[in-house]
Structure formats: structure tokens, C-alpha cells
Structure 1
Amino acid sequence: MNDPLVSVVVPCFRQGQFLPEALQSVLDQTYHNWECIVVNDGSSDNTEQVAAAWIKKDKRFKYLYQDNSGVSSARNSGIAHSKGEYILPLDADDKIAPEYIEKAVEAFLISPDLTLVYCEAEKFDEESGKWNLAPFSLHTMSRKNVIFCSALYKKKDWERVCGYDINMSKGIEDWEFWIALLKHGGMVKQLNFTGFYYRIRNNSRTALVEKNGIIDMYEYMTVKHPDFFVGQYGSFIEMERNMLNYRKEVDLQLKSEKFVVDLFCKRFFGFTIFGRLDSIKNLQEKKRNVK
């Protein structure tokens, strides 16, 4: 009862070179009742050989293979095969501090009503230093993701929201999952210590996603959770302002502000309100021209 099993799920796609560091960080945990499931998401590198070597080191390591289906599918596969009461996702190129699982489990045991526990984080590799994440709130979460993928949560909550959405194929799947998990309520705790280390690489999955499709995923996410986003934005003006800020953050080369607004309005409000908004913009432009 006081030593619940924690399942660490490590999806890996062409990251075999980094996998030993991630698995070593799991092996170094001060908390001992864990299993670690490496999910080979159709890698053509040495992921299988690396995983096999770690299974020989410690029987708590396990291995799954699937044809390449994306990180959401890989996480879901690993969690579906897991036996733990708690789940900790860990990307194959990241690391966790030795005390992370122990401190996170302790937080759950002290406050059983918690839904999610995470910690402070640092970046490493091509960029280093503290990762300054904004404090969690649903309001902030509607504007940007403030919780990295490696947070501890209950397996039953993963089941409740039907897991990670495999349609989030171009990234930010963890952001969508946190929204699904927390939008109807739930307590979140951030531990006051650095327990997660996030690798920064110019050719990382996140960097490529930000250049090639994150707006599509953001649009899909807002359409999937209109109740959450409408409730948190409060008004179209706030929503529009956030869309512009988000565009700047990911540094996408979009043609105009109107392109971003169109994507959201067509989905949320339909063409009638969209037409009204377009008319308002035209009137504003005419007024500026008259002045």
C-alpha cells in the first residue's frame, strides 16, 4: 500500500544513441518499486539491442516493438502493457533525477486526490540552464503548455480519458493529454526541485514539429476541446490575441494574422460569425484609411 508500482514508459524512435542515458536515470532512482517499458516505435537503429542489454542488467526493464505509429501510440502501447498504479512517461532522449519518482509518489501518498505531479526542469545538450515554466493554471494551460511530458499520474486517469490521442501525430500530444486529464477538475502539484532534464537538439522531434505542422495540431486540439478553450478565453478578443502570441512563439512563417484567425473561427463559430468578423476588420481598415 505504501510502495505502489510505478510504470515508466519510454517510447523510442531512432533515438537509440540517447536511450542508455534515459534508462540509466531510471536505474538510478532512489525509489525501487518500478518497471520500465521501452517501446520501440519501428526504429531502424540499435534501439532493440540497447534495450536488450538493459534487460540483462535489471529484470525491471521490459521491451515492446510496434510498427512506426507515432509517440502517442507508443505511449499508449506501453501503458496498456504496464502493471503500475502510476505512470511516468519519459522520452528516450531525456533524463530524470534520482529522487524524482520517490518524491512524486510521496506527494500522491500525502494527497491522494492529486491528479498530476511534476517538478522543475533544466535543459541540456545544445542548450543548458533552467527551463522557466509558467506556474500551472487552467487559464495558462489554454494558452501554452506549462507541463512537460514526464509528469506522474494514475493509470486509471489515463484509462478515463482514453489515453493519448493518436491523431496528434505532429506533436504537442502531451499538451492535449493534460487538457483532457484536467479540464473538468483535478489537483496539480509541482515539486520544488529540479527532477527533469530536457534535451535540446536542433533536429529534435519538437524542433521539426514547430516548423512543419504545430499549428495544425493546435487547431485540432482546440476543435476537440471547445468547451475548455471557450471557457478559458472568455472572449474572441482574448482568443485572437493568444493565437497571435502562439504564432510568434513557434516562429511559423504564416502569411498573415487573418490566416490564423480563419483557422480557428471556421471551426469554432461557423461562417456566419466569421463573415461578421471579416466585415469588422474591413471597417477598421477603412477607418484607418480615412484618418
Structure 2
Amino acid sequence: MRGPLLTENDAPSAFRRIGVVVPVYGHSRFAVEAVRSACEQMLATPPIVAVVDDGCPNPETQHALTACRARYPGRVISLRQRNGGLSAARNTGVRALLGLFPDTDAIFFLDADNRLENYAIAAYSAALGAEEGAGWAFPDVHAFGLTPMVDGVDVRETTVADSALRHRRGNISEAGSLVRSEVFRAGVFYDETMKFGLEDWDFWLSAREAGFHGVRVTDPGFLYRVRPESMVAQSRRQTDEIMAGMQRKHFDLFARSAILADEHEEAPRFLMADLETGALRATSDPVLPGRKMTLREAVALFEKHLSGIHEHDVPPMLVAHHGRAAAEVEWRKDLRSLFFEALAEPVTGPHILSIRAADHASRFVGDTRRARKDLEAAEALIALIPLNELSRLAFERPKRPGLALVRDVTRVEHWSLPTLEPVPPFPGHVGRKRRIARLSALLRPFTRVSQARPLQHASRFYRGPIVKDVRELMADDLCGYAPFKPFPFIPGGRERCLVAVAPASLADEALQDAFGRFCERLSRAGLRLSLALDGQTANPAFARAAQAADFENILLDPVPAPPPADFGFMGSDIPVQDPSKHARLMALARGHDALITFGITDFLPFAGEAKGDKILTILALDDVLIERDAVRGRDPVTVAAAYEHAHHAIAAGVKGRKALANCGVPSSRLVPTEALAFTIKSRLAH
């Protein structure tokens, strides 16, 4: 779509001077069109166009560039260099413009086979200048040439707004973008070693790492010529290899904590609906408030999603909750673990969790035919509803969609959650038989908008990363461990540590006190702690462990597995991996920055895999543990020596470090227990 032609009086002037870089290698006729379109921009101060001949062997290219200089004297700079590739040519143009014209505020990149409408750079500069902190403005692509459209032009979107989450999976910013000069002055340039395309994607990721973000230009006047032999077409053949290279190069950007934090902000997984108050919030962490919404706002978002499922994201899981399980205080530390365990099973239909208090965690699957009674009678209840179920209900048009949904429940789970104190009666019992009516009131507007047939623009196409794929291929694959989704523990600026302890390590008061002192040191250092109790634990031992420090999460172990097999090593029994726990424990470890085992636990055999997965692994052996020989009848020093290579460090007291050194553990791997918190923070910082 062509925008209105501008005059010099109409052109906005967000920047004093703008430069344009046009790399050229062949395509002499196209290059003339590109340079002409850049020079004829309607700006108060005409742009300076740096044309970089990247060692093109064709004499026609030199003739074309000579003609351009003659037509636009003083406005076209012609540079020639030995062939170094597209990245090198762009960098040469940038350095030339910034060197010759230090007052250049922004630089536009225009490939030789593309062109601009005369209002384009003014539109870019208006968008970029309007958003403080934005480093670049990127366009919707108006494609021409090899396109299927009757009028020869189609519009290709990559995102409706800048998205750090989507940008990790694919390039949402076309190279034809306007970039502030501050980005280059911050040391961000194109990687000249990339020869197979997608070097612009790498450039934008580097700019994000430097603290910049982009802004979308909705009517940019940027025309992209589609050719079968383009570098983008060739680069798709090496997509997997390039993707792996991106993750290695931009390690911090692809860190699990960074991915989950951006998912929580941009594309949360859950739409939490409180059936008591009617409050709604979108979040990827059931404990965090997330983004508060009204029912009207949530329905409007769902309607946008239906009209453009790739462009507009909506939380895929509607969570209708009632009672103590989702209250502000009760069972707050267990809630993340509850979601983590419940969602390990694929939720293909409505899924109900009914919850009660007990002295340990347990779970059993109930009769789905009693789902309605469970919904009416449970003290605390959580209903997990995939939003695609609402589209099905729209065609059935039930008068009571809540009841219709409950009739199709595919799974009912009855949970017992551990509690440290007697649970008083919950005042929400009054009117609990009205829950289905409240659920129907919640679902009715969603099903209503599902009945309308969405309208779509015939000449607009979405070509960017799809959030569903981003979740599955980025968040789930990198942060979870199939079939477990990522542990829903969104980072908040502090390091996250998973502290695992076995019941045998809490067998008496001396051991409990030692564990308490150990956890208090970590907590005082500002580390965020999760407690993983290895197996079912009696209430007194559980209470002492849970009260030892300020744990943010209590990780449930609802289905105890049989004790793992052992093998002999230096006269002692050494635990080995239990295949039934492998996926669960690895997914839990991936949800944290550090895995700390206090004594010998079921996590110990998985420490080597966690270490290879970029998780800091620590084995803690208190002198009390060694003196009492209290860990399942094993010699903890011998076990620690057997798993020494699986840990970054072993923390112990004076006696423990001496005993470990006598078993051949190098002193460089031994850390005083008092210095463990400092060791964790310094290692994670690097």
C-alpha cells in the first residue's frame, strides 16, 4: 500500500542528519533504483547516501555508481573495497558516514535490490523519535517482484510490536531499518564472519544485548524485492546450524531465566480467574500478580487472537480457581510445584484439581464422572481449561457453558498439600454451589466471540515467529524437560537455588539444626531458595526443614518412587540414576540457577547432567553428617568422592575438607561452608 506523497514542509524532522548505506555487488540496474529512491526522500535535510561497492567485478556497476554521483552531486559517497561480504560492506558504510559526518543521528540500511517510497525515511524517523530508548525502527515488508498477488505487492508482517521473545526464534526486524547512531557507538556492528545470511538477525540480537530495543513502523514505504536466489532463501537451508550458533554466541540472551522472564512479560501462559472475586490476571507464574485485566479486556484479547492467531497471543490455559489454593497466603509456597506437577500430563480437555490440607504431599486420580460434585464441594479447587475448548463450546451454544465444560472433564486429581499448622475453616464455603454459575458467567463472553467468523486482510501475510512455536521450541525445550513444562518460577533479579535434602539427613535435632544454619547462610546472602524434600517426609521433619530458611517454594513429591539401585565404590554403596525420576528432577533443576544437595539425595546421580546443562552444582557435607554417618548407611565422604567431577564445588567444614582431600578430591574443588554463598554468587555472576 502506497502512502501519501510528502513535501518538504510536511516531512517530520526527528533527527538532524540521517545517512543511508547501500551495499552493492552486482544488480547495477537495481542499485540505481535504490540510490535514487534514497536520494529523493522528502526530508528537510537530504540524507547522505554511502554506496559501498563490495568488490563487484562487473564494469556496469561502476558506470551505474558514476551516474548516480553525477545526478546527485554532494549527496552520494561512493566507496569500493575488496569483497568481504554484506556485513563488511555495511560496516564500511557506517564507519564512513560517522567519520565524515559526526552529527549523523541515525543510519538506514537499504540493500541494492530494494527501494523506498519518498515518504519512507520520514515515517521511520517519526516512529523512532517518538519512542524514547528505542535503538531502531523496523518495518512491515511491502514485497514485490516474485509474489503471488494480483496487483504485484503484498504486505508481510513479522510482529505487531517489538518482541524480545519472538526475536530469539526468528528475525522480526528486516535489515531495511533505521538505526540510531548510539547503537554503533556502543560497539554494535555486523559480524563479518557470517557469510550465509541472517547477519541482520545477529546484529539485532547484539543490539538487544547492549540494552536497545526496536519499534515497529506500520506504514514504512519500504519495498522488498523477492528473488529466488536471495541470500535469505539460501540461508534457510542452514537454519538449524545458524540457530545453534545464535544460542552459543548470545548466551545471556538465550539463558533460561531471560527467556522465562520475557515470556512472563510478553506471552504469559495462564489466564488466572478468581471465581470468588472475578479478578483476572495474565501470568506465567501463579504466585506473581502478572498483568491484571478486566473480563472485557481479556475477551477483547481473545477476539484479536481468533482474527489473527499468529499475530496476537492469548494465554493458552484458562485457570479458574476458588478457595484456599489460590489465596494470597495459604499454600503459596506449594502453588508453583502444584502447577508443575499437574501440567506434566498433557491437558487435552478440562482438568480439575481438588485440594485439601495434610501432613505430606499426595495425589490420586479420581472419577471424572464426579467432576461436577467435586467442583461444587471442594474446599479448594483449580480448573485448568485449554482456551481452544471454548471454540468448541461456541458451536454447541450451551446455555450454561460452565456445566457443559464440566461434563467433558478429562481428568480429576485429588491433592493433599502439606501444612505446618491446623487449617481454619475457609469462609469461602458460603454459596459454593454457585461455582458452576460463576464459571458459566466467566466463559459466556469468550464463547460468544468465538461464534463470530474472523475477518482477514487478503493481501497481508504474517511471516514471523509464532508464539506457540516459541513456547514449544524455546521455553519448553530449553527450560523444561519433556514431558515436564518449565518450572513456573519467574526470576526477579536474584539467583535461584534448588536445595535438595533427604529425610535421613534430618533424622534428629542435631542434623536439623545443621541444615537450618546452612540454609540461613544462603538466605541471608540474598539467594532465592526452593526446598526439594527427597521422598515422603513425616510432618515434624518436614516442618523443621521448611522453617529452616525463607524458602520461596516447597517442591512436592506426590508419587514416591522405590529406592534407587546402588553400586559398590571403594567399599561403600553409591546411588545411581532412577529412570522414573529423571525427567522430573532435571526439569526442576533447569528451573533454577544452582542445584545444591545437602548430603546424599536422589538428585546426586543427576548432578553431572545438570552441570553439563549449565547449572551450577554444589554438594554440601556438614561435619555433623560425616560424624554421624547418617545418610542411608553410606559413607558420605566416599559418595562425595565418587561424584566429585559432577560438581563445581563441594562445601564442607574443616574435618570434611580434610577427609575429602584424603580421598583424592582436589583442594581447588573444596569450599568452606561459611564461604559457600559467596562462591555461588561469584560463579553465577561469571
**Which bin holds the TM-score, normalised by the shorter protein?**
0.7 to 0.9
CA distance, structure 2, for counterparts of residue 151 and residue 81 of structure 1: 18
CA distance, structure 2, for counterparts of residue 25 and residue 44 of structure 1: 24
CA contact (8 A) 2:140 2:216 kept: yes
**Aligned residue in 2 for 1:85:** 105
CA contact (8 A) 1:170 1:214 kept: no
Q: Does 1:44 align with 2:54?
A: no
Q: Does 1:161 align with 2:194?
A: no
Identify the match of residue 142 of structure 2 among 111, 118, 122. Answer: 122
- The within-5 A match list for 1:207-286 is 207-211=233-237, 213-231=238-256, 232-234=258-260, 238-239=473-474, 273=609
**1:242-275, CA deviations, whole angstroms, 9 ceiling, x for partnerless residues?**
79xxxxxxxxxxxxxxxxxxxxxxxxxxxx6499
Q: Does 1:69 align with 2:89?
A: no
CA distance, structure 2, for counterparts of residue 176 and residue 96 of structure 1: 24
Q: Which moved more, 1:111-120 or 1:86-95?
A: 111-120
* Shift in alpha-carbon separation, 1:276–1:153, aligned structure 2, 3 A: closer
**1:115-157, CA deviations, whole angstroms, 9 ceiling, x for partnerless residues?**
1112322111111411121232000101111110011111231
Identify the match of residue 34 of structure 1 among 47, 63, 80. Answer: 47
**1:227-251, CA deviations, whole angstroms, 9 ceiling, x for partnerless residues?**
10124544996438779xxxxxxxx
CA distance, structure 2, for counterparts of residue 124 and residue 111 of structure 1: 30
CA contact (8 A) 1:10 1:37 kept: yes
**Aligned residue in 2 for 1:257:** none
**Aligned residue in 2 for 1:8:** 20
CA contact (8 A) 1:114 1:186 kept: yes
Q: Does 1:103 align with 2:338?
A: no
Q: Give, in angstroms, the shift of residue 99 of structure 1.
A: 1.1
RMSD: 2.7
The AA in structure 1 aligned to 2:248 is V
Gaps of 5+ in 2: 1-12, 148-152, 261-469, 479-607, 614-686
Q: Which has the higher helix share?
A: 1
CA distance, structure 2, for counterparts of residue 38 and residue 217 of structure 1: 28
CA contact (8 A) 2:91 2:190 kept: yes
Q: Does 1:174 align with 2:200?
A: yes
Gaps of 5+ in 1: 244-271, 278-291
The AA in structure 2 aligned to 1:57 is R
Q: Give, in angstroms, the shift of residue 2 of structure 1.
A: 5.9
CA contact (8 A) 1:161 1:181 kept: no
CA contact (8 A) 1:43 1:68 kept: yes
The AA in structure 2 aligned to 1:65 is R
CA contact (8 A) 1:6 1:87 kept: yes
* Shift in alpha-carbon separation, 1:48–1:6, aligned structure 2, 3 A: same
Q: Does 1:55 align with 2:75?
A: no
CA contact (8 A) 1:143 1:242 kept: no
CA distance, structure 1, for counterparts of residue 259 and residue 166 of structure 2: 10
Q: Give, in angstroms, the shift of residue 42 of structure 1.
A: 1.0
Q: Give, in angstroms, the shift of residue 30 of structure 1.
A: 0.7
**Aligned residue in 2 for 1:283:** none
Q: Which moved more, 1:150-159 or 1:78-87?
A: 150-159
Identity of aligned pairs, percent?
A: 24
* Shift in alpha-carbon separation, 1:194–1:162, aligned structure 2, 3 A: closer
* Shift in alpha-carbon separation, 1:276–1:156, aligned structure 2, 3 A: closer
**Aligned residue in 1 for 2:230:** 204
CA contact (8 A) 1:7 1:36 kept: yes
Identify the match of residue 34 of structure 2 among 3, 22, 30. Answer: 22
CA distance, structure 2, for counterparts of residue 109 and residue 133 of structure 1: 21
CA contact (8 A) 1:107 1:117 kept: yes
**1:195-228, CA deviations, whole angstroms, 9 ceiling, x for partnerless residues?**
21111111122222223x3433332222110110
CA distance, structure 1, for counterparts of residue 36 and residue 136 of structure 2: 24
SS in structure 1 opposite 2:29? coil
CA contact (8 A) 1:119 1:193 kept: yes
Instruction: Give me the TM-score of the superposition, normalised by structure 2.
Output: 0.34
CA contact (8 A) 2:39 2:46 kept: no
SS in structure 2 opposite 1:163? coil
Q: Give, in angstroms, the shift of residue 186 of structure 1.
A: 3.0
The AA in structure 2 aligned to 1:100 is A
Q: Which moved more, 1:225-234 or 1:25-34?
A: 225-234
SS in structure 2 opposite 1:9? strand
* Shift in alpha-carbon separation, 1:216–1:66, aligned structure 2, 3 A: farther
CA contact (8 A) 2:137 2:179 kept: yes
Q: Give, in angstroms, the shift of residue 35 of structure 1.
A: 0.4
CA distance, structure 2, for counterparts of residue 152 and residue 44 of structure 1: 29
The AA in structure 1 aligned to 2:65 is A
Instruction: Give me the TM-score of the superposition, normalised by structure 1.
Output: 0.77
CA distance, structure 2, for counterparts of residue 118 and residue 43 of structure 1: 28
SS in structure 1 opposite 2:218? strand
SS in structure 2 opposite 1:81? helix
What is the total number of aligned residue pairs between the two structures?
248
* Shift in alpha-carbon separation, 1:242–1:176, aligned structure 2, 3 A: farther
* Shift in alpha-carbon separation, 1:242–1:151, aligned structure 2, 3 A: farther
* Shift in alpha-carbon separation, 1:240–1:156, aligned structure 2, 3 A: closer
CA distance, structure 2, for counterparts of residue 242 and residue 175 of structure 1: 21
- The within-5 A match list for 1:110-149 is 110-127=130-147, 128-135=153-160, 136-149=162-175
Q: Which of structures 1 and 2 has the larger relative contact order (alpha carbons within 8 angstroms, sep 6+)? A: 1
CA distance, structure 1, for counterparts of residue 224 and residue 70 of structure 2: 27
Which portions of structure 1, spanning 4 or more consecutive aligned residues, are displaced by more than 6 angstroms?
Answer: 240-243, 274-277
CA distance, structure 2, for counterparts of residue 121 and residue 38 of structure 1: 22
The AA in structure 2 aligned to 1:55 is R
**Aligned residue in 2 for 1:190:** 216
CA distance, structure 1, for counterparts of residue 246 and residue 47 of structure 2: 32
CA distance, structure 2, for counterparts of residue 276 and residue 110 of structure 1: 45
